[in-house]
Amino acid sequence: MISLTLYSSAASGLPPTKPSLLRQIRLSSSTDSASYPRFSAVPSLPPRIWICPSYSSSQPRLSLSRPPTAVGCGPHDHHADHNHNHHSQNHHGHAHSAESELNSAQKAILGFAKAVGWTNLADLLREHLQLCCCSMALLILAAACPYVLPARASKLLQNAFISIAFPLIGVSAALDAVLSVAGGKINIHVLMAFAAFASVFMGNALEGAFLLAMFSLAHIAEEYFTSRSNVDVKELKDNHPDHALKLEFDEDTLPQFANLNYKKIPVQQLELGSYILVRAGEAVPVDGEVFQGASTITIEHLTGESKPVDRKVGDTLPGGARNLEGMMIVKTTKSWEDSTLNKIMRLTEEGQLNKPKLQRWLDEFGEQYSKVVVALSLAVTLLGPVIFKWPFIGTSVYIGSIYRALGLMVAASPCALAVAPLAYATAISSCASKGILLKGGHVLDAIAACDVVAFDKTGTLTTGKLMCKAIEPIHGHRDQGDPCCNPNCENEALAIAAAMEKGTTHPIGRAVVDHSVGRDLPNVFVESFESLPGRGLSASLTRIKTGKSYQLLDASLGSVEYIASLGKSVDESEKVKKAVKTSAYGSNFVQAALSVNEKVVEATLSAQRKAKMTEEERKNIAIERPKVTLFHFEDEPRPGVHDVVSTLRDKAKLRLMMLTGDHESSAWRVAKAVGISEVYSNLKPEDKLNHVKKSSRDTGGGLVMVGDGINDAPALAAATVGIVLAQRASATAIAVADVLLLRDNISCVPFCIAKARQTTLLVKQSVALALSCIIFASLLSVLGSLPLWLTVLLHEGGTLLVCLNSIRALNEPTWSWREDLCSLFSRLRLIMTALVEKTQFGGNIRPAPL
């Protein structure tokens, strides 16, 4: 009996075990075709989740963690999945093939191994933490025997310890090495196994056993550290609900708390518009809005915002939000595929798949490097006896060329270099915990290289929630010296503008519509509509008047420059601009202008009557009267933006600028409030695009564009790095942006830039450390100064040090080494203070009374 089980290595806090080779290779058996189906990788499953076979106890099971990989350490294969399989595999070249076919030699070996029970024993012993520790303890005792026991007794006891310890680590290593060699590939596991068994044949079984024991323990420790890089995505996966409570009710009724009838279904089966029940302590499965009830929710694990928020009827809920109290009926507004929680996990995992420059370099040169190492090892083996008179085999006194070559192959394997990009995945997870989604490790490199940050104004530096403060008729509203017909002109202008902006997402449009709510306005209907990006809107409308008449209107709404350009003459355009400059409300507000051309038509006139009208009569009946009305909006800077700008200017030493389509006075008002001294105003989308391209070329380092994703998608795409506020951004802006901010503010921008600089510095440190270990150990091994076991210790120790250095990307970033030192001293001081207090007041020790 065979059952398919879904395994996730992220489900446990313990060091994860390696997935079975059966997830990477297809295995078929001609003799047991009915009992053993073909297995293959399942690419549609999320990363770090595999389908593995689970057999009954009566059937043999094969679980191999090291499929054939590239020569040497296999960085090429390693980096194919490096970022999205950190915690499920080690970094030495095994368990990286997505899918490979067994050749005839491998099938024969597997058949023999299965027949004699080798595969079952290998599965049981493979890199088992407790067994590895037991093996190491026995080997240490074996090494100590000659120093504590008589020679005859120590030899017997030493051999006994080695005989027990060696199989615990050598059985699986031998099978994996044989399979790799049969596949025509050599990796670090083959080299280690070859070195260990060669040591046995050369009379040093203790050293060979030490090689494998240290190698296995190093891998287990390394996997533990690399699993830390995905801890935040793991928590999201663990916390998201697998099922939802879908309410069932009659079609002619709505769900009520008094009569709750629900069914538990998988979240993937939830449809748009479904009603679900969310109880206290549960997570909201998908995005929705509160239909009934009220509660307090927390979204700290999604955006990093620790303050709980209250939600009532009509409020929106992101998928993954945790309900702290109360019970709610929620109407779903998104499916699971489009929900916030799934988007966070998907984008984070996709970001870990995108390779930074260092990783691409390792992919390109890794296999060639490994071939060079093997060639150098062969040269040492063959040329050493000829040039340096080294013995070929060697003795305990004179180290042979084979021994030196084995040491070179082990020392020069690029394992430590291969795990250097681990810092990128760690940083991506760290940013995800703050509500910052990066589309790959290469984004961190790009951010760190930028020295200019450009901000959009409306919705980015400001709240974007404009309020209409005034409506001012400025041109064409007076007829033959008669005074303007206020307040009717204002109401008519507001009615026309609201009809044109209905359903818009632009901040000005939303402000117009909000200002019209609850007012008694004329009835206006849109006949045709055209949007002009960067300029405004143009529409043909119909307004119903009292009596038996109606009006045809041609209206345009947009920037002052756009409306002024619609004038029939240069003189009329100048009059509009002058009227705007002399506005009674000044120029400190955000402004938009409305131009309306009216045609009055008597509905009661027949077509024949209209045809017989003279030109004078027609002029009296149909009069074009362009009217221009100015709308004034107030937009305030976001809270905390001044601190963000100050941090980027003073600590990050970045050049800051504002790019906006608003007029100059409004732009400078906001710029002075937030502390930006370089402002470019009156920019259309294409002007922003050109300015971003020019600034990127001039600075050399690159430019970061921060926007709200409304009308600035071209600039975001052209920038070196585009950062967008995901809550309000368009789908196009989200697609072209490199960084998505889940919080509806830019407070995370300094953290993102500091994290990018921290990560690139850690990667450089890791590369330097890895190269130092490789060069140092390789030279000493060739010179014969290092035994094999010490070479392995240096090799694996360097790899672990690189892992430890990489997970420092989980720490809070700082702007300079001085801040790092201050932070370190602060932590040490806190630790010392806690130790002193524990010593003074812990246990039965009490301060003496005064």
456 as an active site residue: the answer is yes
| Cα 357 → chain centroid | 17
* DSSP bridge partners of 627: 596
What's the CA gap between 367 and 192, in Å, rounded? 18
Please answer whether residues 433 and 306 qualify as being in contact, where contact means their C-beta atoms are separated by less than 8 angstroms.
no
What's the CA gap between 425 and 82, in Å, rounded? 9
Please answer whether residues 41 and 99 qualify as being in contact, where contact means their C-beta atoms are separated by less than 8 angstroms.
yes
Nearest CA among 473, 413, 507 for reference residue 710:
507
List CB contacts of 504: < 8 A, sequence separation 6 or more: 510, 513
What's the CA gap between 162 and 26, in Å, rounded? 37
Please answer whether residues 408 and 776 qualify as being in contact, where contact means their C-beta atoms are separated by less than 8 angstroms.
no
List CB contacts of 828: < 8 A, sequence separation 6 or more: none
Nearest CA among 50, 43, 95, 88 for reference residue 70:
95
Strands 295-298 and 309-311, by their bridges, are antiparallel
Nearest CA among 540, 199, 264, 578 for reference residue 403:
199
DSSP code of residue 551: E
The residue type at 667: A
The residue type at 721: V
**Residue of 81, 456, 635, 708 marked catalytic:** 456
Two tokens, residue 770: 């890895």
User: DSSP for 324-339?
Assistant: EES-EEEEE-S-TTTS
* DSSP bridge partners of 245: 264, 277
What's the CA gap between 792 and 134, in Å, rounded? 19
Opening angle at CA 68, ends 62 and 70, nearest 5: 160
Phi-psi domain of 14 (left: phi exceeds 0; alpha: psi -120 through 50; beta: other): beta
Please answer whether residues 80 and 349 qualify as being in contact, where contact means their C-beta atoms are separated by less than 8 angstroms.
no
Q: How far apart are the first and last CA of the chain?
A: 77
Two tokens, residue 463: 């709240």
What's the CA gap between 685 and 800, in Å, rounded? 50
Nearest CA among 219, 114, 224, 131 for reference residue 169:
131
Torsion of CA 740, 745, 750, 755, to 10 degrees: -40
User: DSSP for 396-426?
Assistant: SSSB-HHHHHHHHHHHH-THHHHTTTHHHHH
Given CA atoms 698, 704, 707, 710 in this order, what sign does their dihedral have? positive
Residue 522, preceding peptide bond in cis (omega within 30° of 0): no
Nearest CA among 338, 336, 628 for reference residue 475:
628
Just list the catalytic residues.
456
